[in-house]
Each structure stands twice: as structure tokens, then as C-alpha cells.
Amino acid sequence: MLKIFKDSDKVLRVKATPVAIPLSIEDETLALAMFQHIKESQDPELSKKYGLRAGVGLAAPQVGVSKQIIIIHIPQGDKTNYTYVLANPVITSSSVRRTYLRGGEACLSVDENHPGPVYRYHKIKVSAYDILSKSQIEINAFGYEAIVLQHEIDHLNGILFYDRIDPENRRKYPDAIVI
């Protein structure tokens, strides 16, 4: 079980350092522990036992380590989960079209509710080192998966979702897709 740092902690507000490739044992152990934490948070029995909030993603700064490692683990019903364990992710292209979650975003590091649309790119291309396959990959993501990836990559730059809540954006992106 990993300690989750909160938005009052400075580590959530600084730029994270890229990790060396191939990963050191220490970095790989951290990434796999983060993956395990997110999987357990989604298990009803374990999350109750340990008092975990369920999450679909986690970034290393959220566990107190200022390094560029993120985890995405989105259950897809009876299909294979949407899972990525990544180092040094970079958004290499993005759509003009924006999207946002109707109910707003939430974060394991933020206890309060921050309602309001968080505008994200609807489609993105991400280049990253995939820790599970030990190779450099390109990810094409859109919609919810793209939102989660952008939320986690923001953590590597010291940005929290509520920094992006701006009622004025509604006028800037009138054709944003609501999910």
C-alpha cells in the first residue's frame, strides 16, 4: 500500500524528472507498486479493507516521488482493461477539438470537490517508454482515455485538474464533446 500525497504537498507542484531508460530496479519497482496500488484500489474488498479510494490513474509525484512515471488502468467491462505503465510520456500531437467530463474530474490527491468542466484535448498522440513491454511506444487516445492520460501527464508538470477549471473556456470551446 502506498501513501498518497495530497495537493498541499509541494511534490505535487514541481516538475518531475525524466527517468533513465532502461529503468533502474528502483524505478521499475516503484512503477509496479503504483500499478498494484491502482489495481487494489479498484477491488471492492481490498479497497474497503485498506480504506482506498478507487482510481484509474496514478503519477509518481502522488506517491511522493518526483519522477516521470504514470499508470493508467481503466476497467473496460468484460473487455481487456485499458492499461499503461509509462515512463517519460510526452504528448506529441493533439486535436483542436476539446472534451470534458460532465461530472468534472477528481484526483486521489485532492479531497475536496472542484466542480466545473476541465477542458482537455479530445484526441492525443503520446510517445512514452512502456515499462511493461520494455519498449518505446506511441499511443493514440481519444475521449475518456485521452482525458485520463492528460490528467496524469499534468501531474508530471505540477498541474492539478482544478487549475484548468475556467468558466470562460465554455465560450472558447463551444463544440467541446461532453463525456
What lies within 8 Å, CB to CB, of 141 at 6+ separation is 123, 124, 125, 126, 149
Contact pattern from residue 106 through residue 125 relative to Zn ion, giving x for each residue in contact according to CB under 5 A and a dash for the rest: -x------------------
Q: Which helix (H) or strand (E) holds 178?
A: strand 177-178
Spatial contact of 86 and 128, defined as CB atoms under 8 Å apart = yes
Place of cell 470562460: 168
Give the residue with the Cβ less far from Zn ion, 69 or 107. 107
By C-beta, is 129 or 162 nearer to Zn ion?
A: 162
Q: Which amino acid would we find at residue 11? A: V
Q: What are the residue numbers of the active site?
A: 152
By CB under 5 A, residue 58 contacts Zn ion: no
Size of the site for Zn ion (CB under 5 A): 1
Site for Zn ion in 88-107 (CB under 5 A): 107
State the Cα–Cα distance between residues 142 and 59, nearest whole angstrom.
20
Comparison of 63 and 107: residue with beta carbon closer to Zn ion:
107
Burial class of residue 42, CB neighbours in 10 A (0-12, 13-18, 19+): middle
Query: What residue has cell string 500525497?
Result: 5
The residue whose Cβ lies closest to Zn ion is: 107
Closest CA to 39 of 6, 1, 79, 5: 1
Edge-to-edge strand ranges of the sheet holding 82-94: 57-59, 69-74, 82-94, 123-130, 135-142
- For Zn ion, give the closer residue by CB, 70 or 139: 70
Where does this chain bind Zn ion (CB under 5 A)?
107
